[in-house]
Structure 1
Amino acid sequence: MKFHPIILLALLTVAACKDKPKPVVTSPPRPTTSTDGSRISFPDSVMMRAFTTQPARSGAIHTDFSAPGHVAAMVVRSSENPAERLVLFDDPGLSDNYTAILQHRINIQTERGNLERVKDLQAHGAASGKEVIEAQTQLANEEAAIISDEATLKLAGFDPEALRTARPNTILVVCEIPENQFGSIRRGLNCTLNFTAFPNERFAGRIDNVNDYVDNTTRQIKLRISVANPDGRLKAGMFATAEFGIKEAGQFITVSRDAIVTVQGRDYVFVRTAPQVIERRPVELGQQREDRVVVQNGLKESDQVVTANVLQLKGLSFGY
């Protein structure tokens, strides 16, 4: 059988292609992360080039102690009853809690009076022991309910009793300070506030309350600051920075502000611990000075802290 030359060439080409091995496709090497995300290992030094580092350094720092905050509530006079105070919260949930507390107080007074009345009736044979127990139960229920609402307000930085006696035309600013700086703060301390809405003005304030607990997650303590607001310019929800007139000086370890990531209220940096290994470190931060931030705990001097592409490391470490 004879083949046309063109057909023969085509057949030979197909046969050659069948005999040629297919190239093996390999995926590029990827970094590996430990189960808890705290340790990231890179397959080669080329990948590490993207994560430049700077050493954590110790030096003399002078900082003015300040803390961010926001106007969490306003106190105004009631238009219906000028002797009463209205508290306008920026959080509707807290408004519900405060309103419930006021109602519980009324109910408690009512139930106490009812219990005394039923006891008096029982003493004269006009009420049974069952009725006394029912009255006692109603009072106990109201007293238990108010405790829950009061606890919610206190967790948010408010003392329910102080709200009832707060001065009208006042705003209440809630700030948070790190646990390790708590020793510098006390109730009654005067402070100065700068509001984002009025950047060129300063407002005088006073610390009315320091919370009795430290947040387990953030290790922060809430402060409540009262500020006079006679003209009503300051509104609930506005952001502010409180300056406490306290200067801190000494030898502090600092890192670049670009090195810090925050996840669920906790601060972290990434440290190169080997030529191709980066580890996540939780840190406690102090005050910021220009582009450097004081690290109170979690680093030692000369630790190689990553300052570039830290968001990529955050994604590898935390999974997002």
Structure 2
Amino acid sequence: MKFHPICLLALLVVACKEKPKPVVTSIPRPTISTDGGRITFPDSVMMRAFTTQPAHSGAIRTDFSAPGHVAAMVLRSVENPAERLVLFDEPSLSENYTAILQHRINIQTERGNLDRVKDLQAHGAASGKEVIEAQTQLANEEAAIISDEATLKLAGFDPKELRQSPPNTILVVCEIPENQFGSIRKGLACSLNFTAFPNERFVGRIDNVNDYVDNTTRQIKLRISVANPDGRLKAGMFATVEFGVSEGQSMTVSRDAIVTVQGRDYVFVQAGPQAIERRAVQLGQQRVDRVVVQNGLKENDQVVTANVMQLKGLSFGY
């Protein structure tokens, strides 16, 4: 089959003709303000990657636990029902407590003796030397009781409160870190789990908070009273004390929403259908997976919680 020369020329012209180049469309990119504080997206589709959660105020609860042990048992004295028999897990504390009770009796006796000697002196039947000796005896007893009381208080016990503790009660001593002290107060209820009874929960109440912080451990001692009507709980038993403390209303956000740049904390807030703003915030304590925000946000601000690091890169340029 032969082609006409004109047809061949036409075919060559068509074959050599350039194909049209495809049209390249630019990828839409977000617009960022000069200071990086506002990011505007070209369409709502790109916004879908940045899901949000509302900032909201709610009751904040601190839950923590501390190890403890039954440091004493309070029983009613058989010989003197008005007095309390206290059994300590440390024999030295028992000696201190017994000495305090004896000092109290001695102080009453020495005060009566001093009054008697002063009366005799007023009637010329006693000398000034005898009065001084009676005053010295009283002062010695008062100094001795102060020393023994200080020893008990260092161990977490107040002698006066021990004398007033209801019978059939155990006293648990535990220590909490200094940074938890702000949420603890006398009278606060707590839950206890004893090693000897792992499947039971006991309710206790803080009845004493020590007046000092241990210089080495930075711990504060608490004393917790627990009813022990059946006598199952014994001095020396170990326990875990659990505290749940309500700290009032505070605004919180997810910890995933927080970014930190050069020591300052920020979150990103949806400011419109296609816009996100950067907000500087002041943070408080963290509670599980949420962080308290002290200022920088308003109620129901829509805070971005997903792909926050991408926003950080756009906002700060890295």
Q: Normalization by structure 2: what TM-score?
A: 0.58
Contact 2:67–2:175 (Cα < 8 Å) also in 1: yes
Aligned partners of 1:180 and 1:245: how far apart in 2? 15
The corresponding residue for 1:246 is 245
Residue matched to 1:196:
195
In the other structure, the counterpart of 1:306 is none
Residue number in structure 1 paired with 2:145: 146
Letter in 1 for 2:84: R
What secondary structure is seen at the aligned counterpart in 2 of 1:186?
Answer: coil
Equivalent residues in 2 for 1:113-128 (5 A)? 113-128=112-127
Q: After superposition, where does 1:1-320 map in structure 2 within 5 Å?
A: 64-246=63-245
Q: Deviations over 1:272-298 (max 9, x none)?
A: xxxxxxxxxxxxxxx9x9xxxxxxxxx
Alpha-carbon distance in 1 for matches of 2:246, 2:132: 60
Give the counterpart letter for 1:180 in structure 2.
Answer: N
Aligned equivalents of 1:63, 1:142: Cα separation in 2: 46
- Counterpart of 1:222, as a letter, is K
1:63, CA displacement in angstroms? Answer: 7.0
SS of structure 2 residue aligned to 1:122: helix
Report the Cα distance in structure 2 between the residues aligned to 1:184 and 1:244, rounded to whole angstroms: 9
User: Using the alignment, how far apart are the partners of 2:163 and 2:114 within structure 1?
Assistant: 26
AA paired with 1:88? L
Letter in 1 for 2:215: N
The number of residues matched between the two structures is 194
| Contact 1:65–1:247 under 8 Å retained in 2 | no
Greater gyration radius? 2
Using the TM superposition, give the Cα deviation of residue 244 of structure 1 relative to its aligned residue in structure 2, in angstroms. Answer: 1.2
Q: In the TM superposition, what whole-angstrom CA distance separates every residue of 1:172-213 from its partner, at most 9, and x where no partner exists?
A: 000100001100100000011000000000001000010010
| Post-superposition offset of 1:84 | 2.0
> Per-residue CA shift, 1:238-269, capped at 9, x if unaligned?
00011112379986xxxxxxxxxxxxxxxxxx
Distance in 2 between the 1:63 and 1:189 partners?
13
Q: Match of 2:75, SS?
A: strand
Q: Which amino acid aligns with 2:217?
A: T
Amino acid at match of 2:87: L
Corresponding letter in the other structure for 1:232: G
Cα separation, partners in 2 of 1:127 and 1:190, compared to 1, 3 Å? same
Amino acid of the structure 2 residue aligned with 1:165: Q
Secondary structure of the residue aligned to 2:95 is helix
Is residue 62–residue 244 contact of structure 2 (8 Å, CA) maintained in 1?
A: no
Task: Tell me the TM-score normalised to structure 1 length.
Answer: 0.58
| CA drift at 1:85 | 1.1
> Which residue identity lines up with residue 169 of structure 1 in the other structure?
N
Note if contact 2:186-2:208 (Cα within 8 Å) is conserved in structure 1.
Answer: yes
Cα-Cα RMSD? 2.2
Distance 1:201 1:92 in 2: 29
- SS of the aligned residue for 1:81 comes to coil
Aligned letter for 2:90? Answer: D
User: Using the alignment, how far apart are the partners of 1:176 and 1:226 within structure 2?
Assistant: 14
Give the gaps of 5 or more residues in structure 2: 1-60, 256-285, 289-318
- SS at the partner of 1:138? helix
Equivalent residue number for residue 259 of structure 2: none
Aligned sequence identity (%): 88
Distance 2:246 2:108 in 1: 49
Query: Structure 2: how far apart are the matches of 1:176 and 1:216?
Result: 13
Distance in 1 between the 2:159 and 2:82 partners? Answer: 18
3-state DSSP class of the match of 1:139? Answer: helix
Q: Partners in 2 of 1:143 and 1:135 — Cα distance? A: 13
CA contact (8 A) 1:104 1:143 kept: yes
CA–CA separation in structure 1 for the residues paired with 2:103 and 2:210: 23
The answer to whether the 8 Å contact 1:173/1:226 transfers is yes
The answer to whether the 8 A contact 2:184-2:245 is kept is no
